[in-house]
A = this chain, B = another copy of it.
Amino acid sequence: MPWEKNFNIDDALEKAMGIFWSRGYEATSMQDLVHGMGLNRGSIYDTFESKRALFIAALKRYDRKCRHAWLCDLENTHPPRKAIRRLFDEWLEVISHDSSRRGCFLTNTALEVAAHDDEIGAIVAASQKETEKFFYRVIKAGQKTGEIAPDLHAKDISRALLAALIGLLVLARSRPERALMRSIADGAMAQLR
């Protein structure tokens, strides 16, 4: 039918996400996107407005489908301490199998664009806040079940874990050495004592 696009918008966005994720915003050209998404220039502009709007859509998709969905799953299907342990362990696994060193799309964006673009900055900041809150909720839950020492200041620890996680994700791009990253994950977990 001529009034239905003959490509799947969500598939296209998924591809765009992958391209921006590994190359960043500035270093990705529309030519890269045309080639990587398998669409024509016009179709991309018709569907996504502009490069920046496409980037924002891709970033939001990552935040929703990768970060948020994953954290929800961890929180719902594991006991508190194990949820945090798995968060770090699964990142370690992903990083050590990712030869292209793409790291975390949101964290990459935090440094490349967030400081210069308020709208994108707000998305990144909100995502980081939610991750901090994930840690906070899980720590509180762990303190109720007795898995985590009740005298720990949940707010401070959740922030320390967030910083450790982000540090890990930066090092994943510049020094993806398994031993280094394992030390960091272990160090983060040790703060839950």
Contact = CB atoms under 8 A, between A and B. Distances in A.
Contact of A187 (B23, B166, B191): B191
Interface in A84-127: 100-103, 107-108, 110-112, 114-116, 121, 124-125
Contact of A160 (B108, B116, B174, B183): B183
Interface residues of A, number: 46
B171 A166 contact: yes
A168 interface: yes
Interface in A129-182: 129, 155-157, 159-160, 162-168, 170-171, 173-175, 180
Contact of A125 (B155, B165, B174, B183): B174
A190 interface: yes
A168 B163 contact: yes
A180 B168 contact: no
Given A111-B103, A112-B111, A121 B183 contact: no
A163 B188 CA distance: 9
A115 B105 CA distance: 13
Contacts of A187: 156-157, 159-160, 163, 191
B183 A155 contact: yes
Contacts of A170: 107, 110-111, 166-167, 170
7 contacts: A110-B171, A112-B112, A121-B174, A129-B175, A166-B171, A167-B167, A187-B191
